[in-house]
């Protein structure tokens, strides 16, 4: 579990200013900008109405209240009531305006991010934890929606409200206005300091939430392993440690918010106290009238919420900024595996697959390390079945990922019918080359949809699709699907019916066959099948494969023996190519690999005779043959284990 890649480093986006960072949302916001503007206009209207109330009050007190004119007082009260009602309507209107566009932005961002995750190469997914992707996809984008829906609008409107209000305050008396503004200055300083601290904390907490999601994902995925090894407790303690770390970060965030709130609460009180004292003094000096003082306090009350909310809205903006950074870190990943500018088209491929001095190294390989694939030269003739054999960890799986460009070579090239695979569009390339892997991944869908996954060209319920489906299931010996509760319409995969490893592999194989490719790349797709079923599959494959070029990684000597030729992968190179029999005779390393495969097989089934150590280690043909002759009557204790072979 600990092998998962660590949280990616923050990208240079964190060097952007907050407005610049948020400006990147522009393409998503553009289509809905008018509705957002409508929301801001309603909010501003609500604020202006609220600001009018103190002015109306001032007039009422200065006029009718003083003169004691009752009907005028009633009228005044009605006007204030109407204003309050107008404000409420505007607030409602604001909500109506912003709800739809914000969810639209959320939807667009989410689908585009998903599309992005689909196009980014496998090497990207090697580096990124699934939980990080999950939390960015769900949590961060949700936060951006909430911020657009009201954080942004309120921030703009509240700043405008404060500006207009302050001007009005100064209109009543400069001293009162000054007190009001001067007491706001410490707030803004605190706010700035707060921004710095809170921004870092937010980033940390959002990353930690991603790590936590990764843990949940991994342990749900690996629940059997955890249970089987009794590691549930261990996983729990690891999880609770992570959860605790996140809690601590959240506590620090809450602490930061609490301290800013302290100032937000304190300063207006001080401002009120100071204004009250100066107001009374100003009245005693006849410098201001009572109605103005009254209106001043009414206005200060109206402004109090916008001023207080500024701190919250700033922290909200920082949250949104961090979320935007996190989302754009994915958007700005360069997609190293994409369509060429001037794609070549192969009209009717023959299926000749050639590795020409192909090199490959994983990104995280140490600088001093040799390339994992260190100059692969290999020619697969059209229609030929080539087995690829090598010790565990020699790079067989890696080699199989190169033709379909799950990874790109880091040197040399791979060609299909003489065309560099990088000169074809990915869509065309993957139409020509289909793959099946050892760990057969199925999706939550029917058997039919899973098998026909590679046939976007077919309507899955057409007759043609039915024929393709049946043929593929036949080849893969997957007749078991007919005894599933709903036959090929049975939903399988994570949320559907659970299948055995062998059943999954057969469906994955059927999927590769159904794609009807020119080249089939199979990374040990039969490992979980019993020997008899495997033989049947191979028999069927040979008929189908008669037309199809196949590169098959095999872990069973019996599978290897079925191939037209065998390629031996050793120390990053293909060191021998020939038939199984030829290689057994000519290559000592080949005998060594085959004997270790047999040892694995023996360990699995317990009863398969193996090549003796003598044969594996024999230096020349005579010795090897002599050793083979003995192999039928090997006593049990002479069976060798893989460790011994490798030792
Ligand atoms: N995604 C990856 N990132 C980094 N190293 C990897 C990755 N996949 C495999 N490796 C390393 O590359 C080597 C070859 O692995 P692999 O191609 O799976 O070998 P094989 O299929 O022959 O057993 C191993 O040492 C393995 O640890
Ligand atoms: Mg492998």
What average pLDDT does range 490-509 have in this prediction?
83
Query: What is the rounded CA–CA span in Å between residue 543 and residue 521?
Result: 16
User: Is 542 inside a domain boundary?
Assistant: yes
Rounded to a whole number, what is the largest CA-CA distance in the chain? 128
**Do 193 and 318 lie in a common domain?**
yes
558: Cβ–Cβ under 8 A, 6 or more apart, which residues?
531, 534, 535, 538
Index of the ligand 1 atom closest to the CA of residue 400: 17
Using 50, 70 and 90 to split pLDDT, how confident is the model at 123? confident
Selection from 432, 454, 568, 465 nearest residue 509 by Cα: 454
What is the 266 CA–ligand 2 centroid distance (Å)? 65
Q: What's the domain count of the chain?
A: 3
Q: Residues near 169 by Cβ (< 8 Å), separated by ≥ 6? A: 176, 177, 180, 296, 299, 300, 303
**Do the strands 445-446 and 411-416 form a parallel or antiparallel pair, or are they unpaired?**
unpaired
- At residue 346, the 3 state secondary structure works out as coil
Q: What percent of the chain has pLDDT over 70?
A: 90
- Arithmetic mean of pLDDT, 406-423: 96
Ligand 1 pocket: which of 362, 371, 373 to mutate (most atoms <8 Å of CB)?
362
Dihedral class, residue 328 (left if φ above 0, else alpha if ψ from -120 to 50, else beta): alpha
Pocket test for ligand 1, best of 398, 437, 521, 574 (most atoms within 8 A of CB): 398
| Nearest residue by C-alpha to atom 16 in ligand 1 | 395
Q: Which of 199, 194, 91 is nearest to 150 (CA)?
A: 91
Last residue of a domain, one of 551, 586, 621: 586
Domain of 238: which CATH number? 1.20.1560.10
Could you tell me the CATH number of the domain that includes residue 404? 3.40.50.300
Same domain for 193 and 92: yes
Neighbour order of strands in the sheet with 419-420:
373-380, 353-360, 411-416, 419-420
pLDDT tens for residues 351-371? 999 999 999 999 888 888 899
* pLDDT (0 to 100) of residue 592: 93
Is residue 439's pLDDT more than 70?
yes
Q: Give, as residue ranges, everything with CB less than 5 Å from ion ligand 2.
A: 397
302 and 159 within one domain = yes
CA distance 145 to 132: 19
pLDDT of residue 1: 37
What is the model's pLDDT at position 633? 38
Q: Are residues 98 and 201 in the same domain?
A: yes
Q: How far apart are CA 440 and CA 505, in angstroms?
A: 5
Residues 171 and 191 in one domain: yes
Q: Is residue 130 included in any domain, yes or no?
A: yes
| 212 domain-assigned | yes
Instruction: Say if 3 falls within a structural domain.
Output: no
Kindly give the distance from the C-alpha atom of residue 393 to the centroid of ligand 2, in angstroms, as a whole number.
7
Whether the predicted pLDDT of 246 surpasses 70: yes
Domain end among 547, 568, 586: 586
15, part of any domain: no
C-alpha distance across the termini of the chain, in Å: 28
From the alpha carbon of 399, which atom of ligand 1 is closest?
A: 17
Q: Best substitution site from 397, 527, 597, 642 to test ligand 1's pocket, by max atoms within 8 Å of Cβ?
A: 397
Is 371 in the same domain as 226? no
Quote the ligand 2 centre to 73 CA distance (angstroms). 88
Strands 353-360 and 411-416, sheet pairing? antiparallel
Q: Which atom in ligand 1 lies closest to the alpha carbon of residue 364?
A: 4
Whether residue 346 lies inside any domain: the answer is no
Which pLDDT score, from 0 to 100, does residue 14 have?
63
By C-alpha distance, which of 579, 607, 384 is closest to 594? 579
Q: What's the whole-number mean pLDDT along residues 579-583?
A: 93
More confident residue, 645 or 113: 113
Please name the residue whose Cα sits nearest to atom 7 of ligand 1: 362
The answer to whether position 608 is within a domain reads yes
596 has a pLDDT exceeding 60:
yes
Q: Is the pLDDT of residue 12 over 60?
A: no
On whether both 283 and 368 belong to a single domain, the answer is: no
- Decide which of 331, 364, 381 is a domain's last residue: 331
* CB contact at 8 A, 145 and 105: yes
Give the residues surrounding ligand 1 with Cβ less than 6 Å away: 126, 362, 364, 372, 390, 392-398
pLDDT digits (tens, 9 = 90+) for 26-84: 999 999 999 989 999 999 999 889 888 888 888 887 777 777 777 777 888 888 899 99
d(CA 596, CA 391): 8
pLDDT band at 496 (very low <50, low <70, confident <90, very high): low
Query: Do 446 and 398 belong together in one domain?
Result: yes
- Tell me how far the alpha carbon of residue 368 lies from the centroid of ligand 2, in angstroms: 24
Residue 7 within any structural domain of the chain: no
In this structure, the answer to whether residues 456 and 596 fall within a common structural domain is: no
pLDDT (mean) for 85-90: 94
68: left (phi over 0), alpha (psi -120 to 50) or beta: left
**Among all chains, which residue has been given the structure tokens 């069927």?**
540
Residues 405 and 447 in one domain: yes
Q: Which two tokens stand for residue 458?
A: 């077919």
pLDDT tops 70 at residue 200: yes
Lowest average pLDDT, out of 136-150, 275-289, 534-548, 618-632, goes to 618-632
pLDDT > 80? residue 142: yes
Assess whether pLDDT exceeds 60 at residue 612: no
Minimum CA distance residue for ligand 1 atom 4: 362
Q: Residue 628: helix, strand or coil by DSSP?
A: helix
* Closest of 352, 548, 543 to residue 436, by C-alpha: 548
225-245: average pLDDT: 85
Label residue 413 left, alpha or beta by phi (over 0 means left) and psi (-120 to 50 means alpha): beta
Domain that holds residue 315: 28-331
Question: Which pLDDT value is given to residue 13?
Answer: 57
On the CB side of 383, CA atoms within 13 Å amount to 4
Average pLDDT over residues 601-624: 54
Find the mean pLDDT for residues 169-179. Answer: 82
Percentage of residues in the chain having pLDDT higher than 90: 38
Q: Report the distance separating Cα 256 and Cα 250, nearest Å.
A: 10
567 token code pair: 């390629």
- Pair 570, 597 in one domain: no
Token pair of 110 as six digits: 């989410």
Residue 2 has pLDDT above 60, yes or no: no
Q: Are residues 529 and 620 in the same domain?
A: no
Q: Whose CA is nearest to atom 5 of ligand 1?
A: 362
Per-residue pLDDT band for 178 (boundaries 50, 70, 90) equals: confident
For the CA of 364, the nearest ligand: 1
Spatial distance between the Cα atoms of 169 and 127, rounded to a whole number of angstroms: 57
Q: Calculate the average pLDDT of the chain.
A: 84
Question: Got the DSSP string for 573-623?
Answer: EEEEEE-HHHHHHH-HHHHHHHHHHHHHHHHHHS------HHHHH--SHHH
């Amino acid at each position: 579990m600990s092998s998962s890649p660590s949280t990616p480093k923050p990208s240079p986006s964190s060097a952007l200013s907050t407005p610049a960072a948020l400006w990147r949302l522009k393409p998503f916001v553009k289509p809905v900008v008018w509705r957002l503007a409508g929301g801001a206009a309603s909010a501003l209207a609500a604020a202006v109405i609220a600001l009018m109330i103190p002015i109306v009050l001032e007039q009422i007190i200065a006029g009718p209240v003083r003169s004691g004119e009752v009907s005028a007082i009633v009228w005044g009260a009605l006007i204030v009531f109407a204003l309050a009602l107008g404000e409420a309507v505007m607030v409602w209107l604001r909500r109506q305006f912003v709800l739809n566009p914000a969810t639209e932005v959320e939807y667009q961002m989410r689908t585009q991010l998903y599309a992005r995750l689909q196009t980014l190469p496998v090497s990207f997914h090697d580096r990124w934890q699934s939980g990080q992707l999950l939390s960015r996809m769900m949590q961060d984008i949700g936060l951006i929606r909430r911020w657009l829906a009201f954080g942004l609008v309120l921030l703009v409107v509240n700043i405008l409200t404060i500006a207009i209000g302050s001007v009005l305050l100064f209109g009543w008396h400069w001293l009162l206005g000054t007190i009001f503004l001067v007491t706001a200055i410490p707030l803004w300083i605190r706010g700035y300091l707060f921004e710095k601290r809170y921004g870092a904390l937010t980033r940390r907490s959002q990353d930690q939430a991603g790590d936590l999601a990764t843990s949940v994902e991994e342990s749900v995925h690996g629940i059997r392993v955890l249970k089987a090894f009794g590691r549930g407790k261990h996983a729990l303690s690891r999880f609770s440690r992570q959860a605790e770390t996140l809690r601590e970060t959240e506590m620090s965030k809450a602490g930061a918010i609490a301290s800013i709130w302290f100032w937000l609460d304190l300063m207006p009180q001080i401002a009120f106290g100071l204004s009250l004292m100066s107001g009374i003094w100003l009245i005693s000096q006849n410098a201001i009238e009572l109605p103005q003082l009254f209106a001043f306090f009414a206005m200060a009350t109206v402004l109090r919420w916008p001023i207080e909310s500024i701190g919250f809205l700033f922290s909200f903006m920082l949250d949104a900024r961090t979320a935007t950074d996190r989302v754009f870190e994915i958007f700005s990943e360069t997609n190293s595996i994409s369509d060429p500018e001037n794609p070549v088209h192969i009209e009717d491929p023959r299926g000749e697959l050639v590795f020409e001095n192909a090199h490959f190294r994983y990104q995280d390989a140490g600088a001093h390390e040799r390339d994992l694939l260190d100059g692969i030269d290999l020619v697969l003739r059209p229609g030929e079945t080539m087995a690829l054999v090598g010790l565990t960890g020699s790079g067989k799986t890696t080699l199989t990922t190169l033709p379909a460009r799950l990874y790109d070579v880091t040197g040399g090239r791979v060609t299909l019918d003489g065309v560099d695979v990088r000169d074809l569009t990915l869509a065309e390339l993957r139409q020509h080359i289909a793959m099946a892997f050892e760990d057969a991944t199925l999706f939550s869908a029917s058997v039919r949809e899973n098998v026909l996954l590679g046939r976007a060209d077919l309507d899955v319920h057409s007759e043609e699709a039915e024929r393709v489906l049946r043929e593929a299931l036949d080849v893969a010996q997957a007749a078991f699907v007919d005894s599933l509760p709903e036959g090929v319409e049975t939903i399988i995969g994570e949320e559907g019916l659970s299948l055995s490893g062998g059943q999954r592999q057969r469906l994955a194989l059927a999927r590769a066959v159904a794609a009807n490719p020119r080249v089939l790349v199979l990374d040990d797709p039969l490992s979980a099948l019993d020997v008899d079923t495997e033989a049947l599959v191979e028999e069927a494959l040979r008929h189908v494969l008669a037309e199809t070029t196949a590169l098959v990684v095999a872990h069973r000597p019996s599978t290897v023996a079925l191939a037209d030729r065998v390629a031996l992968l050793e120390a990053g190179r293909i060191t021998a190519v020939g038939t199984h029999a030829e290689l057994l005779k000519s290559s000592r390393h080949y005998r060594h690999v085959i004997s270790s495969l047999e040892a694995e097989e023996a360990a699995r089934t317990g009863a398969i005779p193996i090549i003796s150590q003598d044969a594996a280690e024999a230096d020349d043909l005579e010795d090897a043959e002599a050793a083979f002759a003995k192999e039928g009557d090997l006593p049990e204790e002479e069976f060798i284990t893989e460790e011994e072979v490798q030792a």
